[in-house]
Amino acid sequence: MKVAIAGGGIGGLALALSLHARGIDCDVFEAAPEMRELGVGITLLPHAMRELAALGLQAEIEALGIENRESVFANRWGQIVYREPRGRHAGYALPEIGIHRGRLHGAMWRAVLARLGPARVHLDRRAVDVSQDAAGATLHLAGSGPDAPLEAVRTDVVVACDGVGSAIRARLRPQDTLAFAGINTWRGVTRRPPILDGKTYFRIGTIDTGKMVIYPIVDDVDANGLQLVNWVAELRDPQARMNDWNRPARLESFAPVFADWSFDWLDVPALIRDADRVIEYPMVDRDPADRWTYGRVTLLGDAAHPMYPRGSNGSAQALIDARVLAEQLALAGPGDACGALEAYEAQRRPATSRIVETNRSVPPDYILMKVDALTDGRPFERLSDVISEDELRRISDDYKRIAGFSVESVKVAGG
């Protein structure tokens, strides 16, 4: 069996490593003309680390990132609403890691080159179409140059790992559209001293009055004890224009919302002002699809189930997709590739559809939405007069269960 992987992001590289581990030939076709360590921060929850550990990458990733000890929820007045231990500190066998996305991608990229060999990775090859017949499938590719010829790659299976704007999904499902509900985000990284213990993930405020997600991703970035701190500002405005993708942001378009967010433990305006760079993104997803698989072609990761980046779950679900698909292809063998793709979809589509819907309506920061509603958006005197600790814990645990990373559900590979 031969598999063509369209896209060399986290999902595509994980699939390549998973297939190689099971003796299945594959090639990765990536649109970028060169691989560079780009992006901002990403959090790897224990179920994501389980998949990366199974690929032999745990030690390297732990060395490249920062292990989170705690998650803290606070309102826009700086009052702590809820806090809980994370990763190993919460009883998991695996850590929760904050890491620069470029560092994670670089580690996976190096592993693919080392294990599959450079000849299996093809840069400057953008997927533009796919076709198939009873005997196989053909992935159609284009280079970046204006005179670059189209290339046709014959294979047994094509897996679209080409992201939220997947060209292959657009060919298979032209009726699908991006869903934008007026939520825009601005992302930056700032060099600063550690916040609290330097190992805490923060969610502050709500999308209707301004929300910040903040966590460290690189320790001792300047050899003087400063950390590289990742932050995301989010704001919902039903009348807003959708932000562009990866465009440098204008601070005046969002920073005034956070102008008075100066707490005794964090100065948010300074965090924004001192950023190395700030880029804008829209918060978008797609309605859950009723189908991913079309004969010898299937979707994976953001091409299959783009979800709001809440709960740090997009990368985890792509990693799980990759492992499940590789398992099904190995079980089926070359004689039943189509059946393997159907079995993969049957396992993964219902679970990810539920997460897409939950991230829209009851994400982890629903804790803050709930408290904000109960207090009419004002500071509280005693939180216990508003809501119980048990109710806050229930909200948090419900999301973990739906997203597949409750302590009980996350087992070390082979355990």
Averaged confidence pLDDT in the chain: 93
Residue 415: predicted pLDDT: 40
Residue 407: predicted pLDDT: 85
| pLDDT, mean of residues 346-350 | 97
Cβ neighbours of residue 82 closer than 8 Å, sequence gap 6 or more: 72, 73, 367, 389, 392, 393, 396
Angle 338-341-343 from CA coordinates, rounded to 5°: 110
Domain count, the chain: 1
Do strands 157-160 and 297-299 pair parallel, antiparallel, or not at all (unpaired)? parallel
Residue 152: predicted pLDDT: 95
pLDDT score of 414 more than 50: no
| pLDDT, mean of residues 193-212 | 95
Grouping H, G, I as helix, E, B as strand and the rest as coil, residue 302 is helix
Residue 183: predicted pLDDT: 94
CA dist., res. 312 & res. 15, Å (int):
20
| pLDDT, mean of residues 130-139 | 95
108 falls within a domain: yes
182 falls within a domain: no
pLDDT in tens, 212-236: 999 999 998 888 899 999 999 999 9
Residue 309: predicted pLDDT: 84
Residue 223: predicted pLDDT: 82
394 falls within a domain: no
266 falls within a domain: no
pLDDT in tens, 15-52: 999 999 999 999 999 999 888 777 788 999 999 999 99
CA dist., res. 141 & res. 127, Å (int):
5
Decide: residue 363, CB within 10 A, 0-12 exposed, 13-18 middle, 19+ buried: buried
376 falls within a domain: no
What tokens does 80 get? 């702590």
Residues comprising the chain, all counted: 415
Residue 148: predicted pLDDT: 76
pLDDT score of 85 more than 70: yes
Helices (H), 131-262: 167-172
Residue 412: predicted pLDDT: 59
Residue 131 belongs to a domain with what CATH number? 3.50.50.60
CA dist., res. 324 & res. 322, Å (int):
6
| pLDDT, mean of residues 161-177 | 95
Q: Which has more confidence, 313 or 266? A: 266
Least trusted range by pLDDT, from 54-58, 221-225, 280-284, 304-308: 221-225
35 falls within a domain: yes
Candidates 404, 373, 244, 227; CA nearest to 311 is 404
pLDDT score of 413 more than 60: no
Domain that holds residue 12: 2-43+54-67+101-177+287-361
pLDDT score of 11 more than 60: yes
387 falls within a domain: no
Q: How far is CA 278 from CA 151, 221, 250, 255, in A?
A: 37, 18, 8, 11
Q: Which residue has the tokens 């601070």?
A: 251
Q: Please, which pLDDT band fits residue 75 given cuts at 50, 70 and 90? A: very high
| pLDDT, mean of residues 300-322 | 91
240 falls within a domain: no
| pLDDT, mean of residues 86-101 | 94
| pLDDT, mean of residues 52-80 | 97
Within its chain, how far is the Cα of 287 from the centroid? 17
pLDDT score of 342 more than 70: yes
